[in-house]
Amino acid sequence: MKLLFVAPSAYLLGGVQDWLADLVADQRRLGVDVTVAVPDDAVHRRQPYAERFPALKPIGFANPSGSALGRIEALRRLLCRHPDHLVAGVNIAALYPAVRSLRRQGAFRGKLVMTLHALEGEYYADLHDQRDLLDAVVVTNRLSGALAIDRGAMAPERVLYAPYGVVIPERPCSPSPQAPAPAGEKPPLSIVWVGRLENGQKRVCDLRPILEALDRADQPFSLTIAGDGPERGSLERDLAPWLDRGWLRFTGSIPRPQLRQEVYGPGRVLLITSRWETGPIVAWEAMAAGMAVVSSRYVGSGLEQALLENRTALLYPIGDGAAAARQLCRLSDGGLLAELAAAGQDLVRSRYSREASLSAWMAAFSAVQSLEALPAPAADPPPAAAGALDRLLGPPLALRLRQRLGRRFRHNEAGSEWPHSGHPPAPQDTLLELAARLDHHG
């Protein structure tokens, strides 16, 4: 099997980036022929990405014109050097028209897979558009698979599941004994929150009501918030009373090894406030480190059947700060914390270790190879004009002229230079309502 991953290079921190780095390293240890290709332009740059993930040894592909047609041409050149590979796309939308045109010409004989990492409507719209082209989609969450069939109209046999994996410590982590509290007082909780500081998905706005409820319950605690994002400033203002008290600290974004060394640890509690998740990897990492988990019943937790109430985690309704605080207070009983931590470690060993994840991904790629080849896909419509030169000469001729003159479109954002999807982001409410029904009822 020869694999080609095509991924963005503008993002150096995040669960998807860590997943790819771990998976490719493990595949190469098995002797699998794996190539990672990333854009090398103005915002997406190969060199910083290669320095952050040196073991990937990524190759670059460039779009000198900065145009939509230039993106397709850059990927066509890349694919012509890998005509028999299984190509796995990681949020690079121009991959679809590039493969489509080459397949119609008989110049690409490999398989094409979408790896799906989010519950966002534009990716399911891509699936629907490209269902005659994609040999399969590999999802990291059971709900994502249900949505790929429902919203993406993918054939069930072409929807494959392979979860994220995390490092299991060589020595089992046992909960640290709690320091005895003064007579009449509750022992303090050591709480950890990890992720991107934003409200749409991660709901950091719920942290203040949770801390207020803990205060009302006279539950002492310390909270470490590891991450960064657009809401950091407002969150620091909202949580100023606990910052001033010394009960709270922000670490900023830190790499996973540093998280394992400085933030995760036995006897601590991971708090998840999300509206939706396709993991989250942080839950499996915390469980592997001997931590208990208190989580919202986020969309994506139902069909996955990993966070089970009173068995592997304590759960509360999304956005219910008082209920979250009540569940946290239950963990001042060190016995319950130890029981949940032990069950979480067993879960991760069996389903979310790097070894289990690698096995699932290799099985998925092998299944793709054995699927019946799709018929020749329909032709894409001509690319839309992107500027006055395109409207005057047509995109193909305008591209050649830009290349000859060294002219290019300037992009200030990663998603503009190399779009993640063929569709613009859209409000998520309708999709998440459907997702919640599927997640609850199966």
Structural domains of the chain ordered from first start: 2-165+357-436 (3.40.50.2000), 189-352 (3.40.50.2000)
Mapping DSSP to helix (H, G, I), strand (E, B) and coil, where does residue 117 land?
coil
What are 249's strand-pairing partners? 224
Residue 387 has pLDDT above 70, yes or no: no
Identity of the amino acid at 144: S
Q: CB 367: neighbour CB atoms within 10 A? A: 15
What is the structure's pLDDT at 14? 83
Query: Looking at residue 95, what is its pLDDT?
Result: 98
Q: Identify which has the larger pLDDT, 174 or 373.
A: 373
**Residue 291 to residues 56, 107, 195, 270, 379, Cα–Cα distance (Å):** 30, 51, 16, 7, 52
Residue 104 has pLDDT above 70, yes or no: yes
At 175, which amino acid appears? P
Residue 183: the pLDDT is 55
d(CA 358, CA 30): 10
Give the pair of three-digit tokens for residue 419.
């779009």
Model confidence, pTM: 0.89
- pLDDT value at residue 184: 59
At residue 323, does pLDDT exceed 80?
yes
Cis peptide before 209 (omega within 30 of 0): no
Residue 400: CB atoms within 10 Å: 14
Q: How confident is the model at residue 246 (pLDDT cuts 50, 70, 90)?
A: very high
pLDDT digits (tens, 9 = 90+) for 4-40: 999 999 998 888 999 999 999 999 999 999 999 999 9
Report which of residues 379 and 177 the model is more confident about.
379
- In whole angstroms, give the CA distance from residue 15 to residue 352: 14
For the beta carbon of residue 160, count every other beta carbon within 10 angstroms.
22
Which SS3 state, helix, strand or coil, does residue 405 take? helix
Q: How far is 384 from 382, CA to CA, in rounded Å?
A: 6
If you write DSSP's letter for every residue of 158-178 in order, what string do you get?
GEEE----BPPPSSPP-PPPP
Q: What is the pLDDT of residues 140-170, one digit of tens each?
A: 999 999 999 999 999 999 999 999 999 988 7
* Residue 154 Cα distances to 14, 100, 144, 151, angstroms: 27, 17, 12, 8
Q: With beta carbons less than 8 A apart as the criterion, state whether 294 and 327 touch.
A: yes
Which residue's structure tokens are 């429902």?
150
Within 13 A of 362's CA, how many CA atoms are on the CB side?
20
Instruction: Share the mean pLDDT of the chain.
Output: 92
